[in-house]
Amino acid sequence: MTINRKEYEKIKKYDRTQMDTFIQSVYKSGFEDGKSSVKGIDFSNVEKLLLTVKGIGEKKAKDIVIALERELTC
């Protein structure tokens, strides 16, 4: 996001409500850009990795993966 001189002068004159709205829109835009740039999680790889940890069997690994999927897909 780049702000030119005209936009800067306009933003400089914002009242509290206008500034709050502007900042929220900048935040949401950045959040969506960041969200779209992150690769998804391959849960089958997570399960394989969990199975390499001593003390975690197939049942516990599946339970963890199910909990992660439920939490991250909301």
pLDDT digits (tens, 9 = 90+) for 21-56: 999 999 999 998 888 887 778 888 999 999 999 999
**pTM of this prediction?**
0.52
For residues 1 and 34, state if they share a domain. yes
Domain membership of residue 11 as a residue range: 1-38
Comparing 8-12, 39-43, 56-60, the range with the smallest average pLDDT is 39-43
How many domains does the chain contain in total? 2
pLDDT classification of 2: cutoffs 50, 70, 90: confident
Of 49, 33, 52, give the one whose Cα is nearest residue 41.
49
Q: Residue 26 has what pLDDT?
A: 94
Per-residue model confidence (pLDDT) at position 74: 62
Distance CA 37, CA 28 (A): 14
Could you tell me if 22 and 47 lie in one domain? no
Statement to judge: residues 23 and 46 lie in one domain: no
**47 shares a domain with 33:** no
